[in-house]
């Protein structure tokens, strides 16, 4: 693993300049957004809140100061481990994130594993049946899935499994009126099914096509032909030597797509009222909650960074040619 150390160190150096750059970019975008946090807070009580009260709210949140000063204050807080206070939830940002991370991790983690297993499994099945009816059906399915918007899949799943059949709940992580601690594992899993199914679709379709393609290239290539010449069966070739050619790149692609998975979770959590970071992101965005958006944005950056690093490590483990690239 002599290649791992320089890789990780190089990536950490990149993170060191990427984080402040992303923070400046994020803060600029939030400051330029045409949403007034005070108006978003006041909402339909406009007639009840006068200009003095609005000014007082703005002053309490520090919005009366110039953007550069606010950014400086936020940066000073971050240096001391304080991510600021969320306007939307009226609580410290770190607390909001910490409270919501487990629900998001359960959703994203389950969707990650599900889409990987289903996507690579179907991709391998399509490759071994290449040119046949099964292959064409699976490819068509992948193309349809990749062309289907996530929100449409969510509505379809709710319409069929929650409303028409009544098998699964369409909302929340637990039945209404109960907290997570009060429900059993079975109930938790039932609530997880539809959001996970919606989120899994995001990653499954490209995995089917990618895995199929990589395995087909191997199976039709000289290395597989060499194994055939020695009498190895198609099954042994595909599920022996071929598996590494298919699964390694699939894992690389999947890990590199961690950011897309988080993006999908914003939609899935909003549609299914899932109490995670995605839902908080949507609320923070509509409320121009700068501290919370900054906190979630930088957490997402770390998640994507870790995903990309894991993807690079996975690629090098799967393919020895990448470990010591020639200049």
Nearer to other proteins, 6 or 222 (CB): 222
Q: Which is nearer to other proteins, 248 or 257 (CB)?
A: 248
Least CB distance from residue 98 to other proteins, whole Å? Answer: 41
Q: How far is the CB of 100 from other proteins (least distance, A)?
A: 40
Nearer to other proteins, 245 or 283 (CB): 245
CA distance 182 to 179: 5
Give me the least distance between CB of 243 and other proteins, in Å please.
10
The residue (of 20 and 240) whose beta carbon lies closer to other proteins is 240
Q: Please give the backbone phi and psi of residue 167, each rounded to the nearest 5 degrees, phi first.
A: -80, -35
Residue 259: count of CB within 10 angstroms of its CB: 15
Contact 279, 71 (CB under 8 A): no
Q: What is the CA radius of gyration of the chain?
A: 24
User: Measuring CA to CA, which residue among 235, 301, 313 is closest to residue 1?
Assistant: 313
List contacts with other proteins (CB under 8 A): 221-223, 225-232, 240-241, 244-245, 248, 318-321
Nearer Cβ to other proteins, position 65 or 323? 323
Residue 86, helix vs strand vs coil: strand
Residues 215 and 228: their CA atoms lie apart, in Å, by: 15
CB of residue 231 to other proteins, shortest distance in Å: 3
Three-class DSSP category at 118: helix
Least Å distance between CB 4 and other proteins?
17
**30: Cβ contacts below 8 Å, ≥ 6 apart:** 288, 290, 293, 294
């Amino acid at each position: 693993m002599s290649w791992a150390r320089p890789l990780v160190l190089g990536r950490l150096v990149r993170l060191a300049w990427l984080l402040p750059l992303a923070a400046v970019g994020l803060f600029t975008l939030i400051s330029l957004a045409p949403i007034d946090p005070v108006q978003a807070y006041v909402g339909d009580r406009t007639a009840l809140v006068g200009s003095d009260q609005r000014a007082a709210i703005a002053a309490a949140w520090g919005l009366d100061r110039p953007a550069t000063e606010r950014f400086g204050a936020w940066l000073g807080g971050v240096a001391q481990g304080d991510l600021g206070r969320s306007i939307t939830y009226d609580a410290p940002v770190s607390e909001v994130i910490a409270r919501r991370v487990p629900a998001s991790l359960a959703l994203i983690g389950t969707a990650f594993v599900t889409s990987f297993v289903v996507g690579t499994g179907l991709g391998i099945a399509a490759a071994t049946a290449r040119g046949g009816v099964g292959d064409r059906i699976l490819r068509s399915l992948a193309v349809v899935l990749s062309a289907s918007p996530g929100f449409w899949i969510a509505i379809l799943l709710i319409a069929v499994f929650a409303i028409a059949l009544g098998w699964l709940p369409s909302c929340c992580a637990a039945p209404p009126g109960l907290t997570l601690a009060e429900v059993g594992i079975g109930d938790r899993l039932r609530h997880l099914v539809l959001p996970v199914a919606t989120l899994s679709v995001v990653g499954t379709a490209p995995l089917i096509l990618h895995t199929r393609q990589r395995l087909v290239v191997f199976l039709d290539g000289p290395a597989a032909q060499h194994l055939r010449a020695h009498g190895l069966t198609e099954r042994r070739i595909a599920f022996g030597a071929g598996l590494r050619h298919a699964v390694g790149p699939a894992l690389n692609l999947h890990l590199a797509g961690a950011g897309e998975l988080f993006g999908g979770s914003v939609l899935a959590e909003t549609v299914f009222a899932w109490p995670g970071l995605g839902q908080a992101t949507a609320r923070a965005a509509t409320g121009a909650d700068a501290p919370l958006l900054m906190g979630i944005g930088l957490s997402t950056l770390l998640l994507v960074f870790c995903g990309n690093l894991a993807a690079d490590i996975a690629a090098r483990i799967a393919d020895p040619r990448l470990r010591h690239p020639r200049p």
